[in-house]
Amino acid sequence: MEINSYGERVIPAKSVIRLYQNVGWWEDMKESEIEDILERTISVGAWIDDELVGFARAVSDGKFRAYVEDVVVHHQYRRKEIGTHIIERLLHELEHIDIISLFCDETLIPFYEIEGFRSSSSQYVLHRTKK
């Protein structure tokens, strides 16, 4: 298995779409939209041979804040520490950032706590979606 940043190994949008489809995410995303996202974010992929089996990305201002998005591992490869390796590599790419945030399902809190993330009772996540 290889873990590479987008700068080291280009992550094709088609590969990301296949991975999302495998886990039931973002079924309506277009390849051009994923390409745009990949160009604007800090991305890391996990590869077995030429298959993308894991992916994570972060949105950042480049100095003070980053927000981790879309940590995903192919169903067939879960529980093999791929998610841990992806997060560790992404955090390495973001080591110059002061505060790194994410939101996750409650069941994933222990996974992220191992990497140093802590929940905060002083802040709330709010979402505004298109109508």
Residue 105 neighbours by CB distance under 10 Å: 7
Q: Are 68 and 111 in contact (CB under 8 A)?
A: no
pLDDT reading at 131 higher than 80: no
pLDDT confidence of residue 56 = 97
Helix H or strand E encompassing 103: none
pLDDT confidence of residue 127 = 80
99-101 and 42-48 as β-strands: parallel, antiparallel, unpaired?
A: unpaired
Domains located in the chain, CATH noted: 2-114 (3.40.630.30)
pLDDT in tens, 46-76: 999 999 999 999 999 999 999 999 899 999 9
Higher per-residue confidence, 121 vs 30 = 30
Mean pLDDT for 88-97 is: 96
